[in-house]
Amino acid sequence: MRVKKHHRRSSQTRRQLVFRYVRLIHDQFSHWMEENRVWLAGQDYAYWNKLLDLRNSIHRLFMNFSGELIQDIKHGHHIHMIASNSVKSVREHLKYKLRKRRGCAVCGMDRVHNNAHIIPSSEGGEWSLNNLLDLCANHHYLFDHRLLLEDEWEHIDFGKKSKEAQQYAKKIIEPQLKKYWKVLQELKLPDKSSIKSGWSDTYKKIHERQRGIVPYSEFVSKEILKENR
């Protein structure tokens, strides 16, 4: 009996380690792509898709090696085991992954999807379809850090989400985004087509998460002035 308990405990620990390692790969890769957003903007979509395929390949190799990969043959989706003791959360996770894909809620890209919480789990947000958005890695990062542009935000349809999620998006997320849009309007940033290599560092710093809108705007203004001296 002790052997069985030990086996279950070891198996659960291994799944948790696998999940954390895969999330680490995902986060580091997504962070690198976001940091190099300006440079990547000058590349074609084929190059961007190759980077996404590379990240997927790394995931598949590791998940196959660890024996924690579940593959749905019909849709070709890879489902990662999640470290959770809640049967309901696992069921919701599988249901979410296996349902028909509609592409990123912002850009429509259907290669890689993240499960973005509208109401953060740290604030009691549930892992359910009523509180989750299909987002690509890039827009997941921008959504979580309140850095979506106005036209990107308007693309997201919250109509089928719970009333709580809709209210959170309207009363909490949107006001934060409006502060960000106001800062961008004041800065009068150049279009992507006119961005020069010298703007790269400044543009990346602008998209970093800062505490407080006032010090944030002051920080960006100083960087803009430095670049234009």
Residue 127 belongs to what domain range? 87-163
Residue 92 and residue 74 share a domain:
no
Taking the alpha carbons of 189, 194, 199, 201 in that order, is the dihedral positive or negative? positive
Mean pLDDT of the residues in the chain: 63
DSSP alpha helices (H): ranges in the chain?
A: 2-35, 37-41, 45-66, 87-98, 137-144, 150-155, 163-168, 174-187, 200-206, 213-227
Residue 28 belongs to some domain of the structure = yes
Among residues 145, 163, 181, which one ends one of the domains?
Answer: 163
Distance CA 136, CA 152 (A): 13
Residue 167: per-residue pLDDT: 92
pLDDT band at 58 (very low <50, low <70, confident <90, very high): low
CB neighbours of 122 closer than 8 A, spacing ≥ 6? none
Residue 200: per-residue pLDDT: 46
pLDDT band at 104 (very low <50, low <70, confident <90, very high): confident
Q: Could you give the C-alpha distances from 112 to 8, 115, 228, in angstroms and in order? A: 32, 10, 38
More confident residue, 62 or 175: 175
Among residues 110, 131, 163, which one ends one of the domains?
Answer: 163
Residue 187 belongs to some domain of the structure = no
Distance CA 85, CA 15 (A): 12
Question: Does the structure show a pLDDT above 90 at 156?
Answer: yes
Question: Does the structure show a pLDDT above 90 at 174?
Answer: yes
Residue 76: per-residue pLDDT: 39
Question: Does the structure show a pLDDT above 50 at 148?
Answer: yes
Residue 91 belongs to some domain of the structure = yes
Residue 121 belongs to some domain of the structure = yes
Q: What percent of the chain has pLDDT over 70?
A: 35
pLDDT tens figures, 162-172: 999 999 999 99
Residue with tokens 């069921």: 91
pLDDT tens figures, 24-51: 666 666 666 555 554 555 555 566 666 6
Question: Does the structure show a pLDDT above 70 at 194?
Answer: no
Question: Does the structure show a pLDDT above 70 at 105?
Answer: yes
Question: Does the structure show a pLDDT above 90 at 11?
Answer: no
CB neighbours of 94 closer than 8 A, spacing ≥ 6? 79
Residue 132: per-residue pLDDT: 87
